[in-house]
Structure 1
Amino acid sequence: MRPSEWFAKTLFGRTLLFIALVVASGAVALAVIARYYAGVAAERAYDQLLSGAAIQVAENLYVQGGVLALNPPVAAFATLSSYDIVYYKVVDSRGIVVAGYSDLTSRAALSEAQQGPVFQNGQYQHQRVRIATVARYMPEEAVPGWAVITVAQTTHARAQLTNEMSFKVWTLIVLMSLLAIGASGLAIKRGLRPLAQIEAIIAARDTADLRPVAVDTPSEINAIIGAINTLMQRLAQRMTSMQRFIADAAHQMRTPLARLDAQIELLGADIDSNSNANSNAAHARERLDALRRTCTDVGRLTGQLLNHAMVIHRSEIVALQPLELNALVKEVLGRAIPLADERDVAVAFRSDAAQTLIFGDAISLGEALSNVLHNALLHGGADDIDVSVSSTKTSVELTIRDNGRGIPQSQWDTVLLPFVSLQQDGSERSISRGTGSGSGSGLGLAIVSEVMKAHGGGIRFSFPAAGGFALTLNFRPYVSSSA
């Protein structure tokens, strides 16, 4: 892995890179500040020397015969010239240069120079110089007035001192930055050690071992451990549910297949017998009808098994979307009515709104509604079905009422379990334990229950005062963000 990929793809690399960038940014800011203050410190130090030299020149002025003269302060000039080149100029009260370099100029005002040394930057003889200007009152001159003293020094020593001070501070900043980044790397590596421990524990486990992860970790990682353990628990529950479902499904498939095999054997025996031909034909037709019914049961059971697995799968991966319920119900009604065969079935649909929007999955809901109508038509014997949709600000209810036999109130919770169905007399039975031909596979309402759980809704059974049996599905309405 290249260094750039390592920094981008590893938590250690990302964290260390972020810390390094922060430290580097701080180091650059500190270096700039250090450079500024080093320059200020060097400027103040050399300005003190330059100010002392200008004052000494002023103190060494004297008047002889009414004319201003200077006794140069050699010691002061020697101190300054040991670092840089020094220039000076003395102007008497008449504005005549009496000593020094006549072309050395200063922009300092006389009123400011009278208060003390005035500093400024300038150029002299093609070099950068620092200029100090001070004024002294000379009453002994022929024309009493202020003498102006100007002393200039090149800035090489100042720049050298600034660089030396900056280099020392920069070296300290670099060392401290490297120390901070190194210490951060060690701290991150130590902080990530519990994650590596968790990784080793999970990697060493068998695929069937879904026990909670038990490891002593810092409190900040407890949330990760909790999430992993919750996932383990959900996986264990899902695997247990799927194993139970597969076992039940295998048993349920064996029962109709055994019946199918028996019917085929009986049909073959009737055809091969030497009994009366007419009797054989009648028995053959009966066996054939039984065979058709068994094949239908197998097909229906297989379809419901697949649908049950489908709605469970979709509930985990498909996000609910805004869905128009009225159109979906009409479409399902159009597909379900032919299930009544030759019976004359009256169907009514009504809704309190032209459009009813809910959060839902059209495929899963369509399968659930089909199963409700299938139970009413084929197992409930209904021939009058009334479907209504009512909505409020907080809920949407879809009610399917029929005039069939209905479900006894004592069995309302039981019939929502997989592979549980009712005999024609209303007594409960489990097909997984039954051997005869039942009235259904026991998966229809279980599919409806799974779909409603995925939609955050519920199922309610009732015997309306108007008669018949009713099943109500409750949904949460869709409310647009602009509403």
Structure 2
Amino acid sequence: MAHLSLYRRLTVLLLCPLALVAALILGQSWFASRAAADRAFDRLLDAASLSIAEQVRWQQSRLWMDLPPSALEMLATDAEERVFYALYDAQGHFVTGNRTLPALPPPPSGQMSYADVDVGGLALRLGVRRSRLEGWDRSDRFEVRVAHSQEGRTALANRLFLASLLNVALIALLAMVVVLLSARFALEPLTRLRRAIRQRDPRTLAPLSLELPRELDELRQTLNELLARMRRVRANQERFIGDASHQLRTPLAGLSARAELALRQTDPAQWRSALDSMHAAAAQTARLAGQLLSLTRLNNPEAAPAHTPVDLCALAQRAVRSGFASFDRRGVDLGVETPAQAVVVAATAWQLEEALANLLENAALYGARRVTVSVLAGPPRLRVEDDGPGIPESQRLLVLRPFHRGREGGSGTGLGLAIVDSIARAHGCRLILADSDPAHPERPGLCITLTFPDAA
């Protein structure tokens, strides 16, 4: 039923039990019709046997009777049944009748006993009445046995069942119509909700406000919560786009201004100075664009690469080797400390490399003279320490936001720690910012630790 619509699924679930109930009612009607026909014709057998028993006399030292025509006519119906009767004395000897009929065991109460018998290949309904002669001189027992074929009672049972069948069919049809209409009306609020969602402007994220039943109202509230989250995401994206455009427009405008100024000069030394400035601005702009692309890719929920085993020791050593020459030219002492054994975590290698590169670059840009990358085990941790000016405790949550700089004197873009925070959340890591050397408040340094949940 997974491919069926909700309306068809509901109607099937309602109509199947209804059909089962109708079948049970028809079966009960069939047995009830048979029982009613048996009771009606058994009463006829009772009346016919009583009429015959009243005509039994003692005549010429034996039982005798003068059978009235009415006794058998009451058993005759339009079905043209065959009717048989017989009179037996107390010893079970046949006295008179139009056919010998079998005996039946006496009933626990009453004077009549009934049974379906087969006589000469003919199915008969047999009734046996036990009676006695009541007179001043004799009191002899006898049996009157009356039987007839079953065409009449079968026809009556069929007529009764047909009447019941018509009634049940009519009731079932009405019930089916009621079920279909009820299912349609019951699902009408869901139809209204579907139409309200379909007719909405794709650009709007306003909450839904239509009245719905309690079960669907919970769905409406869930949709409104989703729309609220989407509004917050869109607001963040718009703010991010505005900040990014501002951050990119400023260095590009500076590049244009420096180029225009250089074109007005004729001294090659001034051209060289302008080219140096333009090169530095272009490098900063390229780094900013790269960080913007990284942050956008990290915040995209559709781009969630699978985690693989990553050795933090090898990762830290590659990052230090890659940046050692650049840091050495700046006069920054870059080192690495790793344990003897490998520290493996489930992660995305390029994301951790991006995070570590941003941490190292931030440390160099904000005046650190010594930067140390450490890998610790139990639990797995990746730590970057420097001896720079550090970040005040009141600013440590703010610097995780895009384009927020901890210090105005630095030349960073304000995206490095935001990228690190996104990578930490993608890996379920705990990001901790603390002072490296609290004993020197003028240059406390900064210690950033990524604590992984478990080893791979």
Common fold: TM-score over 0.5:
yes
Q: Match of 2:418?
A: 446
Instruction: State the AA in 2 paired with 1:43.
Output: D
Structure 1 equivalent of residue 395 of structure 2: 411
CA distance in structure 2 between the aligned counterparts of 1:416 and 1:218, rounded to whole angstroms: 43
Would the alpha carbon gap of residues 93 and 188 (structure 1) be closer, same or farther in structure 2, given more than 3 Å must change? closer
Instruction: Establish whether residue 165 from structure 1 lines up as the match of residue 160 from structure 2.
Output: yes
Cα distance, 1:402 vs structure 2: 1.3
Identity %: 27
Match of 2:337 in 1: 348
Confirm or deny that 1:460 pairs with 2:428: no
Maintained 8 Å contact 1:418/1:443: yes
**Quick one: distance in 2 between partners of 1:478 and 1:125?**
93
* TM-score, normalising length: structure 2: 0.80
Deviation at 1:412, TM superposition (A): 0.5
3-state SS in 1 of match to 2:117 = strand
Indicate conservation of the 8 Å contact 2:344/2:455, yes or no.
no
* Contact in 2 for aligned 1:352/1:389 (Cα 8 Å): no
Aligned to 1:41: 36
Distance 2:342 2:312 in 1: 14
Matched residue SS, 1:133: strand
Q: CA deviation at 1:356?
A: 5.2
Alignment of 1:169-184 (within 5 A): 169-184=164-179
The answer on whether the counterparts of 2:316 and 2:373 sit within 8 Å (CA) in structure 1 is no
Residue aligning to 1:435 = none
Match of 2:291 among 304, 312, 316: 304
Of stretches 33-42 and 285-294 in structure 1, the one that deviates more from structure 2 is 285-294
Residues 1:475 and 1:33: Cα distance change in structure 2 (over 3 Å): farther
What is the aligned counterpart of 2:362 among 375, 391, 396? 375
Structure 1 residue aligned with 2:441 = none
Compute the TM-score of the two structures, normalised by the length of structure 1: 0.76
Contact 2:311–2:345 (CA under 8 A) maintained in structure 1:
no
Q: Residue 218 of structure 1 corresponds to which residue in structure 2?
A: 213
Distance 1:374 1:417 in 2: 17
Q: Distance in 1 between matches of 2:35 and 2:98?
A: 29
Q: Say if 1:92 and 1:385 are closer, same or farther in 2 by CA, change over 3 A.
A: same
Instruction: Select 2:381's aligned residue among 381, 395, 398.
Output: 398
Name the aligned partner's letter for residue 410 of structure 1.
S
Which runs of 5 or more residues in structure 1 are unaligned?
Answer: 392-396, 430-437
- Displacement of 1:262: 4.1
Match of 1:31 in 2: 26
Q: After TM superposition, give the deviation of residue 223 of structure 1 in Å.
A: 1.5
The CA distance in 1 between the partners of 2:349 and 2:54, in whole Å, is 103
Q: Could you say if the C-alpha distance between residues 409 and 148 of structure 1 is closer, same or farther in structure 2, counting changes exceeding 3 Å?
A: same
Q: Offset of 1:419 from its aligned partner?
A: 0.9
Match of 1:119 in 2: 114
How far the C-alpha of 1:345 sits from its partner, in A, is 3.1
**What is the distance in 1 between the residues matched to 2:416 and 2:276?**
24
How far the C-alpha of 1:37 sits from its partner, in A, is 1.8
The 1:414/1:79 distance shift into structure 2, 3 A limit, reads: same
Structure 2 matches for 1:91-240, cutoff 5 A? 91-102=88-99, 104-106=101-103, 108-109=104-105, 111-112=106-107, 116-124=111-119, 126-136=121-131, 147-240=142-235
Question: Quick one: which of 13, 16, 35 aligns to 1:18?
Answer: 13
C-alpha spacing 1:102/1:421, structure 2 compared with 1 (3 Å) = same
**2: CA distance between counterparts of 1:121 and 1:162?**
16
- List runs of 5+ in structure 2 lacking aligned partners: 439-443
Query: How far is 1:200 from its partner?
Result: 4.7
Change (3 A) 1:390 1:67: same
Return the alpha-carbon distance in structure 2 between the equivalents of residues 176 and 259 of structure 1.
Answer: 86
Q: Indicate conservation of the 8 Å contact 1:336/1:374, yes or no.
A: no
- Cα distance in 1 for partners of 2:242, 2:180 equals 53
Structure 1: which amino acid aligns with 2:312? V
What SS does the corresponding residue of 2:123 show, helix, strand or coil? strand
CA distance in 2, matches of 1:269, 1:121: 128
Per-residue CA distance 1:236-283 (angstroms, 9 max, x = gap): 22222111111211121222223333454566666xx2x4xxxx3x65
1:376-430 Cα distance to aligned partner (Å, 9 max, x none): 4665554322122434xxxxx63514134232323201111101124xxxx348x
Q: Check whether the contact 2:375–2:382 (CA below 8 A) recurs between aligned residues.
A: yes
8 Å contact 1:114–1:136 — kept in the other structure? no
Matches within 5 A, 1:265-280: 265=260, 273=266, 275=267, 280=268
Distance 2:35 2:292 in 1: 85
Matches within 5 A, 1:312-351: 312-314=299-301, 318=304, 324=309, 327=310, 329-330=312-313, 332-337=315-320, 338-342=322-326, 343=328, 345-350=334-339
Q: What's 2:83 paired with? A: 86
Given that 2:324 and 2:334 are in contact with CA atoms closer than 8 Å, whether structure 1 keeps it comes out as yes
Structure 1 SS opposite 2:233:
helix
Matched position secondary structure for 2:146: strand
Q: CA deviation at 1:74?
A: 3.6
Q: Which residue of 2 aligns with 1:394?
A: none
Structure-2 separation of matches of 1:322 and 1:130: 85
Query: Distance in 2 between the 1:322 and 1:38 partners?
Result: 74
d(CA) in 2 for partners of 1:349 and 1:145? 124
1:231 to partner: Cα distance? 2.5
Q: Is the 8 A contact 2:312 2:382 kept in 1?
A: no
RMSD: 3.9
Q: 2:281: which partner in 1?
A: 294
Aligned with 2:210: secondary structure? Answer: coil
Name the stretch that deviates more: 54-63 or 28-37: 54-63
Greater CA drift, 192-201 or 439-448: 192-201
Structure-2 change in CA distance of 1:12 and 1:135 (3 Å): same
Q: What code does the residue aligned with 1:91 have?
A: Y
CA distance in 2, matches of 1:8, 1:245: 43
Distance 2:42 2:342 in 1: 90
Q: What amino acid is aligned across from residue 469 of structure 1 in structure 2?
A: L
- Kept after mapping to 1: 8 A contact 2:82/2:148: yes
